[in-house]
A and B are shown apart, each in its own frame.
Chain A
Amino acid sequence: MNIETIHDEDELYRRVAELWIKESGKLSSAAFQNSSGTDEMSADLARLTTPQATALHKTNFGVASFLAGVARELNQEVFHSPASENYAHSTVKGRKTGSIRKKLVKKSTLILLPASKMS
């Protein structure tokens, strides 16, 4: 599989559970935690996928979008790491303290809401 170069201006999609979305529509910083026992967080390279595909075509997930450059500014390494079932799969690697996760929330946009959060 080809490995794409992710530029700072590339958009990344992160699938978010409905339990992470507040009544106000804001996202919890819990959405940007590393996978358990690792220093990596999965995301999808937006230009290789769609918000619906990132949400696994399920209505109980939303999708948050942020720029690769934003993550890099927060000392995160961002690279394309395609998986067999998801070519867009990418990795945001680095320690994610509370303040880093909160900054990612501030710089991200919820582009797809779970059905339960749609008014």
Chain B
Amino acid sequence: MNSKNWDNAHENNFFKSFEIDRLWSVFSYGPIFWGARAISYQPEEEILESATEPFQLIDNISKGNILLKGLETSSSSEVDLPESAWFVDANRKIIIGSLKPLLSRDLTGVMGSWQRKLLPPQWTVKEKFNEAFKKIGHIATLGSNWDSYGSKPIETDCISRGISILKDLLQWREEAGIKIVAPFVAPLSNGGIQFEWEKGTRYFEVSILPKPSVINYLAMDEAPEGEMVIEGSLKSQDGLKDLLFWFVDGAAERLTEAWKMMTERSKHSQDEYRNNPR
């Protein structure tokens, strides 16, 4: 295929937006063409951002919740909608959305006559947080040996601290603008609770432990340029905010700052961590 044909094929593909049925639409993304010339490019990493978990390709078509972003960060190009179920076929560079979202005018990743229409999302971030709260509620009811390996019931103190952290997350979203999503909530066999977040190559885990009453954390980034792992122990949830900043924006300097701050806050944290096997 010569370059002109390639351009035309992609241009046609890009502007192709058709209804599958009354609820589902297909939108292409990828290189953006204006006439026959590409004027910008929307990388996949920027167009896909999971609101719950890292975007995963399962059998070529993935289900997830995505945010659409424009390339112009100086303007209001980030779109908080849709937070409804979306599917992506990365090979064919198409997004299948269940509803037509409200998109900003300068959004560079998708185009079409449906841009300014607003339909309600299927769920909101708050609803996802509610699910996390509900799961904690469920976990609180687990009796002994719920894992069949002799586990303990989840400690009331861990339940309270878990709820407190979730509330903090919502507050930080609102006040500090940290776009942290609801975590996956898991019970721990020792009576604690674990929160987990994944985004691209980044992973962040917080384990709320019963005795001693500490919070263990694990921050990992498996970027192609090298793996980074930081783990340690916190006496309180104060240090979490810095780590979450890192998780959301991925800036390594944030992690360094967070690490320094936590080291200063608790000079003996590493010793405690060593003495606190799990």
Q: Which residues of A contact B (CB under 8 A)?
A: 15, 17, 19-20, 22-26, 28-30, 33-37, 39, 41-42, 56, 61, 95-99, 102
Contact = CB atoms under 8 A, between A and B. Distances in A.
A39 B276 CA distance: 11
B41 interface: no
B278 A28 contact: no
Contact of B277 (A20, A25, A39, A99): A39
B150 interface: yes
Interface of B: 52-53, 56, 58, 135, 138-139, 146-152, 184, 186-191, 194, 196, 203, 205, 207, 216-218, 220, 229, 231, 277-278
22 contacts: A15-B147, A15-B149, A19-B139, A19-B186, A20-B187, A26-B53, A26-B56, A29-B194, A29-B196, A30-B194, A33-B278, A34-B189, A34-B277, A36-B151, A41-B149, A42-B149, A61-B148, A98-B207, A98-B231, A99-B218, A99-B220, A99-B231
Given A19-B187, A35-B189, A96-B278, A28 B231 contact: no
Contact of B152 (A17, A25, A36): A36
A54 to B, nearest CB: 10
A119 to B, nearest CB: 10
Contact of B148 (A33, A36, A56): A56
B223 to A, nearest CB: 15
Nearest to B194: A30
Contacts of B187: 17, 19-20, 30
